[in-house]
Structure 1
């Protein structure tokens, strides 16, 4: 039996489809791969340890960061393989994971502390020069 090539989904199509079928089917995107985790929503099959709300929050967005932040076990990562149904189209992955986005985020985290440090420096200088002239 020949292995079928993985189906590819565009992010825009996937998001539109996901918002049109809430609670009927639930697909998650994790690291560019699409997983059908609908079975966790169906009563009687099994329950996601974090609850179905956690899964529903990730519908229509890239769940990679949330998946990694939770610190899933190796068993959970292995289990994920059985829900794999395809990949996000490569042309959609480049803007999502591009270095421009990361570098923008990186400097934006540091801008407020830098401004705060400069202001503290000016305030320190102002008050120390005031005390010398008094």
Structure 2
């Protein structure tokens, strides 16, 4: 069973040697992670003891980061203190571009080449 936290309990854990944050109503104990954060410790230290949902979602994180985050899960915010989550937890990955083929090259190059040829034909026809 997951521990239930109040926001006051999280706010009390606002030091580098005792740090917790909230992301989407989930509490994370990040004390051991502060020095390992790829973005540097400053970003975490600026958010310890607070709800960091907006900051977390604004930056965006890889799938590996989301999996890593789960290892620091310490519980959830009490039901009566929950805030609205800030949108989708993860944007769907973009679709890969279509493969480069001769057909795609022709589709991209033929219209401007045809227009250039027509312009040259008109230009040479005017000069004759």
Give the TM-score category using the shorter length: 0.5 to 0.7
SS in 2 for 1:39: coil
1:1-134 to 2 correspondence within 5 Å?
A: 5-15=1-11, 17-19=12-14, 22-41=15-34, 47-93=36-82, 96-97=83-84
> TM-score, normalised to structure 2's length?
0.61
Structure with greater proportional helix content: 1
How many aligned positions are there? 85
Unaligned runs of 5+ in 2: 86-128
SS in 2 for 1:35: strand
> TM-score, normalised to structure 1's length?
0.59
Deviation at 1:31, TM superposition (A): 0.4
Structure 1 runs of 4+ with >3 Å offset: none
